[in-house]
């Protein structure tokens, strides 16, 4: 096949031991139709966006044709799902291959919803249009918010129904990721691997994501420490924008430090530490306020999996792991506190800042304030529209904040920092649902295109973003999300 699209594959994962995957072609679909293409992302990958919109390009994005150089496979992994350990794997996903970009980067190209695999566990391996478009919207919004994330290249309708509670139109999402190595991949290797498999996987992860630690005295300990750092940064970024992942199982935590798997995720409207959106998280395990702790729990599972690599003596290996894990809380707090200072325009570090931040958040929770719009209002200096701003507690806090700002060298620098830190808009859940409903029920993609456009620069504070900053009506609450499987 003539490669006019620009595919440039080198499939290093396929060179790992057979334990880690099963060669698997996507299941062809009846009548593929391109619904949305991320042209900007395509070009950055060295792909010709126009060619991807041809019949051949769409056939590839649907899994009906395999481009030269690809090595399709389904990955094996395990994971703690809501605390329960299970053997898992790509039940409805196929890794097409690894694209080498014009800049020399290496990224996974993966289909989601491309048919059954040996890891489907009775599932049909398919996905519906709604959840795939939802992942496209949220992942691209996260990218615009400068939060490490997998990205979405395209969504293709399959022309075939997917049977869930009702018959739904099917779709395939093409996902781009630094890799799909997960905490659960290491758990799988530790549980079912043969001698040397765990070390081979760890060496691969180091080569792919942390090459600088390859010459460390204890490179596997360094690997653990680097993953801890990345996750501390990532989860702090989630907290700072009010993002709730919804399903922080160990199979949904990447070694690269990217956000992955936009199933029952959502952005918080009213500030509340106990906020949960996922319909299956009945105990609040992955509530907003629990996310930092659950990331630490997941990292502990990673450390357990690689203990044999840390030291030949188990007692010493445990000690090394515990010392590294003990740093996680401080790393998270350091990143979160730095981000919260920025949200309030505080460039200098003052001991009392933590109490100032805490008082604001407690006041917001007490008065059920909108999280994003509170910081948006503080940024532009328009304190109206929320009950919070008229309360005695807030007014007292505001006076203290203004006094604290006087310690900064420049008021303009403070406001500039706030404007580049506090998004004017987030993908509001009711607006995402409106876009999906228009696309699914009416075939109208203009609502989604407009939403994607305003989300592409969340720090613009433009006039056209104003309507998208409105919180949901009371009738749209409480909002519930579903995993989409």
The vertex-179 CA angle with 108 and 233, nearest 5°, equals 135
User: Looking at the structure, do residues 406 and 351 belong to the same domain, yes or no?
Assistant: yes
Encoded tokens for 115: 């048919």
How far is 233 from 331, CA to CA, in rounded Å? 8
> What is the chain's mean pLDDT, rounded?
95
User: Looking at the structure, do residues 161 and 193 belong to the same domain, yes or no?
Assistant: no
User: Looking at the structure, do residues 115 and 194 belong to the same domain, yes or no?
Assistant: no
Q: What is the pLDDT of residues 227-274, one digit of tens each?
A: 999 999 999 999 999 999 999 999 999 999 999 999 899 999 999 999
Look at residues 156, 177, 198 and tell me which one is the last residue of a structural domain: 177
User: Looking at the structure, do residues 221 and 274 belong to the same domain, yes or no?
Assistant: yes
CA dihedral 228, 234, 240, 241 (to 10 degrees): -160
User: Looking at the structure, do residues 312 and 452 belong to the same domain, yes or no?
Assistant: yes
Q: Does residue 3 lie in a domain region?
A: no
Q: Does residue 8 lie in a domain region?
A: no
User: Looking at the structure, do residues 154 and 212 belong to the same domain, yes or no?
Assistant: no
Q: What is the pLDDT of residues 32-85, one digit of tens each?
A: 999 999 999 999 999 999 999 999 999 999 999 999 999 999 999 999 988 899
Q: Does residue 262 lie in a domain region?
A: yes
Q: Does residue 146 lie in a domain region?
A: yes
User: Looking at the structure, do residues 171 and 221 belong to the same domain, yes or no?
Assistant: no
Whether the per-residue pLDDT at 31 is higher than 60: the answer is yes
User: Looking at the structure, do residues 224 and 165 belong to the same domain, yes or no?
Assistant: no
Range from 150-154, 163-167, 274-278 that averages highest in pLDDT: 150-154
Q: Does residue 250 lie in a domain region?
A: yes
Contact 124, 109 (CB under 8 A): no
Q: Does residue 79 lie in a domain region?
A: yes
User: Looking at the structure, do residues 191 and 222 belong to the same domain, yes or no?
Assistant: yes
How far is 112 from 32, CA to CA, in rounded Å? 14
C-alpha distances in Å from residue 470, one per residue of 426, 431, 460: 10, 10, 16
Per the annotation, the verdict on 251 as an active-site residue is yes
Q: Are strands 78-81 and 73-75 parallel, antiparallel or unpaired?
A: unpaired
Of 90, 108, 251, 281, the catalytic one is 251
User: Looking at the structure, do residues 202 and 258 belong to the same domain, yes or no?
Assistant: yes
Q: Does residue 4 lie in a domain region?
A: no
User: Looking at the structure, do residues 297 and 433 belong to the same domain, yes or no?
Assistant: yes
Look at residues 177, 192, 222 and tell me which one is the last residue of a structural domain: 177
User: Looking at the structure, do residues 188 and 160 belong to the same domain, yes or no?
Assistant: no
Look at residues 132, 150, 177 and tell me which one is the last residue of a structural domain: 177
Q: Does residue 7 lie in a domain region?
A: no
Buried b (16+ CB within 10 A) or exposed e, 402-439: eebeeebeeeeebbebbbebbbbbbbbbbbbbebbebb
Domain count, the chain: 2
Q: What is the pLDDT of residues 317-363, one digit of tens each?
A: 999 999 999 999 999 999 999 999 999 999 999 999 999 999 999 99
Domain span at residue 65 reads 13-177
């Amino acid at each position: 096949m003539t490669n006019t699209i620009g595919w440039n594959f080198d499939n290093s994962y396929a060179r790992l031991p057979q334990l880690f995957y099963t060669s698997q072609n996507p299941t062809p679909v009846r009548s593929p139709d391109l619904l949305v293409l991320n042209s900007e992302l395509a070009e950055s990958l060295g792909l010709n966006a126009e060619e991807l919109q041809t019949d051949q390009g769409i056939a590839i994005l649907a899994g009906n044709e395999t481009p030269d150089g690809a090595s399709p496979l389904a990955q094996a992994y395990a994971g703690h799902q809501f605390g329960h350990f299970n053997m898992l794997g790509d039940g409805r996903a196929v890794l097409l291959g690894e694209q080498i970009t014009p800049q020399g980067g290496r990224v996974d190209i993966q289909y989601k919803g491309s048919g059954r695999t040996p890891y489907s566990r009775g599932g049909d391996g398919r996905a519906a249009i709604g959840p795939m478009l939802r992942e496209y919207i949220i992942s691209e919004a996260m990218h615009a918010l400068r939060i490490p994330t997998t990205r979405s290249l395209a969504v293709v309708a399959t022309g075939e129904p997917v049977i869930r509670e009702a018959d739904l139109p099917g779709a395939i999402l093409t996902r781009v990721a630094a890799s799909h190595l997960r905490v659960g991949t290491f758990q799988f290797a530790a549980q079912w691997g043969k001698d040397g498999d765990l070390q081979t996987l760890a060496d691969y992860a180091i080569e792919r994501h942390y090459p600088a630690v390859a010459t460390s005295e204890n490179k596997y300990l360094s690997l653990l420490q680097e993953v801890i750092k990345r996750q501390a940064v990532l989860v702090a970024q989630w907290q700072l924008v009010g993002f709730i992942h919804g399903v922080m199982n160990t199979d949904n935590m990447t070694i690269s430090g990217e956000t992955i798997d936009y199933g029952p995720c959502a952005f918080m409207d009213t500030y509340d530490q106990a906020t949960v959106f996922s319909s299956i998280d009945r105990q609040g395990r992955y509530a907003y306020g629990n996310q930092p702790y659950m990331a630490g729990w997941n990292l502990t599972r990673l450390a357990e999996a690689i203990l044999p690599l840390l030291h030949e003596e188990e007692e010493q290996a445990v000690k090394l792991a515990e010392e590294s894990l003990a740093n996680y809380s401080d790393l998270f707090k350091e990143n979160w506190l730095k981000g919260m200072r920025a949200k309030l325009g505080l460039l200098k570090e003052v001991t009392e800042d933590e109490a100032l931040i805490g008082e604001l958040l407690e006041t917001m929770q007490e008065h059920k304030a909108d999280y994003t719009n509170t910081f948006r209002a503080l940024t532009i200096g328009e304190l109206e529209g929320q009950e919070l701003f008229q309360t005695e507690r807030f007014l007292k806090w505001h006076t203290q904040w203004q006094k604290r700002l006087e310690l900064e060298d420049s008021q303009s620098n403070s406001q500039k920092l706030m404007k580049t830190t506090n998004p004017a808009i987030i993908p509001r859940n009711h607006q995402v649902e409106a876009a999906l409903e228009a696309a699914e029920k009416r075939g109208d993609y203009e609502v989604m295109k407009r939403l994607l456009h305003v989300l592409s620069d969340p720090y613009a504070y433009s006039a056209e973003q104003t309507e998208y900053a409105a919180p949901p009506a009371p009738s749209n609450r409480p909002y519930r999300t579903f995993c989409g499987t």
